[in-house]
A and B are shown apart, each in its own frame.
Chain A
Amino acid sequence: MGLGGTGGTTYYSAYSIVGMLLLLGVAFVTVSFAANSLLAPARPTPEKLLTYECGVDPVGEGWAHTHVRYYVYAFLYVIFAVDAVYLFPWATVFAAPGFGVTTLVEMFVFIGFLAVGILYAYKKGVLTWL
């Protein structure tokens, strides 16, 4: 009997198996941490709980302000990732009978847009960090 499609496993029960595996994983992690807390010593000292900074006392706080230079990449990434998600449903049907060359031309239009986008970002110097 195969799980998924045949032999009494439906759409929802297939995903419920995924859910059960997740629960099994959570149980594994919980049991491991419980066993760890039974086996391991717990003798906290102020020095031990200090933030590590190469053996000297930490200077300032750990959540320091930093200039995130790659934020332009983040914009690019979000735009392109949303585009890429549309590829998946299309990928399953584009060669189906009745589509053929039309979808192929559409694909080149789509890829063309992405490529022009990257080329534009490249010309604008966005793709060079620092």
Chain B
Amino acid sequence: MASTAHWWLEVALRLVVILGFFLVVPLLVGQMEHKAMAHMQGRLGPMRAGGFHGWAQLIADGVKFAQKESVVPADADRLVFQLAPAVALLPYLVALVVVPIGPGTQVGVALDLGLFFVLAVMGVGVLGTLMGGWASANKYSLLGGIRTAAQLMAYELPMLLSAASVGMAAGTLSLGAIVDKWQWWWLPWQLIGAFVFFVSGLAELQRPPFDMPVADSEIIFGAYTEYTGLRFAFFLLAEYAGIVLLCLLTSVLFLGGWHGPFSAHLGWLWTVLKTLALAFVVIWLRVSYPRLREDQLQRFAWTALIPLALAQLAITGVVRVL
């Protein structure tokens, strides 16, 4: 009986930690984005809220969003419109549960199918954008939704193929076991796969240079045009939670996750550092590259990313067997 109570307590603790991680780390990335972009563009960025370098800006934003009126346009498909932000947000929370932060038991729950599960659940998130784009009954939203759907055709396949390459290298789909087996020479071995995975992840998250579905200067904000208040904030949170998840996955699959000096004690720190470094790259790319056109992404995916991913599969197979 005591062990059952212990089990429930441990599960509850893990779930609360995951929810906390999910709510806090995206804010850190958002703050990093404010500051990194400001420095790269030679401006200050938010400096007022909270006193020291505007550290409380995102909290102030959150308070503002929570107090704003939720407007549902009269022409919109009401129920779908209202559900869309939750559908966009929740998959990123659920996916976090299988990603190992440190060695051993430092993971929400170690599923044998972890890699497959993460990819499947991440794929659900885009449905929220599609729902919002259609249900808004707005021409810009519809265009944004159609662009999102087009983007889906481009990134999903190279992402699956490059992730499968890591599964082949490790001989398992459990994320914890993949990190366990990781050796430093996997870095050059899986380099092409890492590039393909990260780039397709950027396209999935609709981050620059692949932000055509939201393209604020062309189609207002795509599928999010009609959203206000908390629902809009949830779409934004979904974007940043997506960045965190993509960077976590890239570091777990390709950069060795918790491997590093003193990994027995400081493993989780290495995972977090690698994740934040990758998040910085995501922000850096936003500042550095102009937006692509949808057909350019499509061509890039089918004539560059997919052939590269297939080549990576071949390299992985040959090295593993011979």
**A residues whose Cβ falls under 8 Å from a Cβ of B:** 1-5, 8-9, 14-15, 17-18, 20-22, 24-26, 28-29, 32-33, 35-37, 39-44, 46, 48-54, 58, 61-64, 66, 68, 70, 73-74, 76-77, 80-81, 84-85, 87-88, 91-96, 100-101, 103-104, 107-108, 111, 114-115, 118, 121-122, 127-130
Contact = CB atoms under 8 A, between A and B. Distances in A.
Contact of A88 (B98, B173, B220, B298): B173
- Residue from the set B3, B160, B172 with the largest chain A CB neighbour count within 10 Å: B160
Interface string B147-164: 000101110110011001
A39 B321 contact: no
Contacts of A87: 160-161, 164, 167-168, 313
A12 to B, nearest CB: 12
Interface of B, helix, strand, loop or mixed by DSSP:
helix
A40 B67 contact: yes
B230 A66 contact: no
Contacts of B107: 3-4
A39 B66 contact: yes
A104 B321 contact: yes
Contacts of A54: 220
Nearest to B111: A14
A29 B109 CA distance: 22
Nearest to B77: A63
Given A18-B117, A87-B168, 16 more contacts: A3-B14, A9-B7, A18-B94, A21-B93, A36-B66, A40-B68, A40-B69, A40-B230, A49-B72, A49-B74, A51-B138, A52-B220, A53-B139, A62-B139, A88-B173, A130-B295
Interface residues of B, number: 84
